[in-house]
Structure 1
Amino acid sequence: MTATMNARPKTTPLSVLINLIIGGLIGLAEMVPGVSGGTVALVTGIYERAIHNGRGLLHLVRGLFSRRSDAQGAAPQVEWGFLAAVGAGMVGTVLALSKVMHSFVENSPETSRALFLGMVAVSLIVPIKMIDKRDLATRWLPAAALFVGAAVLIFFLTGFTAAEKPHPSLVVVFLAAAVAVCALVLPGVSGSFVLLAMGLYQPIMGAVADRNLTVMAVFIAGALTGIALFIRTLDYLVNQHHTLTMATMAGLMLGSLRALWPWRGDGTTLAAPSGNVGWLVGMIVLGGIIAGAIMILERFSDSHDG
């Protein structure tokens, strides 16, 4: 069940704890190239709720700079406890585990990719289940076209990476953050991979690990700008074209599996399974089990709240 602004779930200690954990998982996902925080939000059932609240928050901010009555009307529509819990989980995880995750991805690339491949592959079930079957019966052709098109597009885009830029300017950091945050809110599109494709993953992760406040502040400003420009469009698509949007998101997730294939040749070239096949297959299975457990947790939370 997906919460909406009109059917607001109860706030309980358990729901706060679960939202903290979900926020932490989203933050964890966004530190790994090829893994999407939007996918985690979709799998855990908070995706549409987060988009609705994000749009409500933007209405509030705009109201503060225009008409105060607009801000007063928008404030009650925002689930402050929900946003605070998810946000705290995200920020806390990034600050606490940036060095650990950076080391894991860099020192154990095959293992990390295998683990996340299993998680994302199993998570494909979620957007597919969210498609309205009756609506799909009348719109199957555009839905299929968007699914295949999105999968093919992301499959090829994840084959490109740029040379690393060790000392990017603050303007570049700002613009990169604005683009990467759009990827964050799209399931199947990894914000970290966008940074990697721009050659900025290592410098940004290094700035977070070293607590470079200037770079972090500019990155946050760019991210807020990007989300302000993008979230309204996404909210419209989710509400007015739900079936086609979910089909597109499923395609994005499917295509993104290329970035997580454990066996590689030169650069991003895919290779046949070899070497520690048993270990890596085990990691894929473990990733799938973790994703399944997250989906069960979301169902338990829904039944407890409802």
Structure 2
Amino acid sequence: MNYLFTYLKGLAMGAADVVPGVSGGTIAFITGVYDTLLNSIKKVNPSLFKLWKREGFKAVLTHINAGFLLALFGGILTSILTLAKLISWLLVTHPIPLWSFFFGLILISVVHILKQVEERRLIHVLFLFIGVGFAYTITVLQPIDMQPTSINLILAGAIAICAMILPGISGSFILLLLGIYPTILTAVKELNIPVLGLFTLGTVVGILSFSHVLSWLLNKYRAATLVFLTGLMVGTLPKIWPWKETISWRIDSHGARVPLVEQNLWPHQFEQIMGQPSQLVISIVCMLAGIGIVWLLEKVAQTKQ
């Protein structure tokens, strides 16, 4: 049953990772698997060979918490493979309700993580603002046009996975900034094994190295790290705001016309400028649904304690 719940959490993480602007790391945090994930990943290192020779393969699987990792990453992979088309369709056909849902989810996640900061100091306010500034700066950067060569695919995988396990920083959005997001999304839809293989290799290298750094920070400076990660989430909220006007466009490497600079609008401004309904009622419902899911997850976690 525990593995089933872990698999479902992986499904939620995978769905979030597909959306540019939403981090699977945020979902991991609010579902209570973040620390377990980091601690399990950082145990995958060369010392496993010694353990294998000394105690056997079963001891290795137990040491790295293999059942947990297989269940979680199985859910992530299942979600990405099955929901990529659905999320892409929703982003095109129903963007405002979708972004509203994720806006509510990230907003309540900020409150959820701040509750876990037991030690509060004035200097933590500085870390909060640094996190906000860092995340906001990333969201306003202009995309580059990285060509999908073998080296670039591995590099993109390593960079994106580091972002994906950071709450607040979206791996998909990093791929957009690199100009390689359409390539990866198309590869997922078409099951392009060579492209996905190179990208996966990069993610493995990235997550095995970065997880050690992040785990050390959480163990050594947990309060400051949590506040910084909260700042990352706050800094990405403007990017997730549902009502936008595209100021300028660019042509990507696939010849597609994609937004370059966007401006956030209030719902009534959106109706006046864009000439489209703001879908305010359904947006509020979707936003409250995102808030409700995190609240429910928090209550379930408290019940199990």
TM-score, normalising length from structure 2? 0.85
Distance 1:291 1:71 in 2: 46
Which of 170, 173, 176 in structure 2 is aligned with 1:190? 170
**Match of 1:76?**
62
Once the two structures are TM-superposed, the CA of residue 277 in structure 1 deviates from its matched residue by 6.5
Task: Report whether the alignment pairs 1:303 with 2:303.
Answer: yes
Which of 134, 151, 161 in structure 2 is aligned with 1:153? 134
3-state DSSP of counterpart to 2:244: coil
Distance 1:65 1:106 in 2: 51
* Per-residue CA distance 1:46-96 (angstroms, 9 max, x = gap): 11111111112x13x543289844987764333222222111111111111
Task: Report whether the alignment pairs 1:21 with 2:17.
Answer: no
3-state DSSP of counterpart to 2:21: coil
Once the two structures are TM-superposed, the CA of residue 258 in structure 1 deviates from its matched residue by 1.5
Once the two structures are TM-superposed, the CA of residue 211 in structure 1 deviates from its matched residue by 0.5
Any residues of structure 2 matched to 1:9-88 within 5 Å, and which? 13=1, 15-56=2-43, 58-59=44-45, 61-64=46-49, 68-69=53-54, 75-88=61-74
**Match of 1:271?**
265
Once the two structures are TM-superposed, the CA of residue 291 in structure 1 deviates from its matched residue by 3.8
User: Do the aligned partners of residues 130 and 301 (structure 1) sit closer, same or farther apart at CA in structure 2, a change above 3 Å counting?
Assistant: closer
3-state DSSP of counterpart to 2:287: helix
Which of 140, 143, 162 in structure 2 is aligned with 1:162? 143
Which of 70, 82, 88 in structure 2 is aligned with 1:102? 88
User: Do the aligned partners of residues 256 and 128 (structure 1) sit closer, same or farther apart at CA in structure 2, a change above 3 Å counting?
Assistant: same
Distance 2:143 2:163 in 1: 17
**Match of 1:6?**
none
Task: Report whether the alignment pairs 1:243 with 2:223.
Answer: yes
**Match of 1:176?**
156
**Match of 1:293?**
293
**Match of 2:201?**
221
Task: Report whether the alignment pairs 1:283 with 2:283.
Answer: yes
2:100·2:286 contact (CA, 8 Å) conserved in 1?
no
3-state DSSP of counterpart to 1:269: strand
User: Do the aligned partners of residues 125 and 70 (structure 1) sit closer, same or farther apart at CA in structure 2, a change above 3 Å counting?
Assistant: farther
User: Do the aligned partners of residues 67 and 16 (structure 1) sit closer, same or farther apart at CA in structure 2, a change above 3 Å counting?
Assistant: closer
3-state DSSP of counterpart to 2:264: coil
2:244·2:263 contact (CA, 8 Å) conserved in 1?
yes
Distance 1:271 1:130 in 2: 33
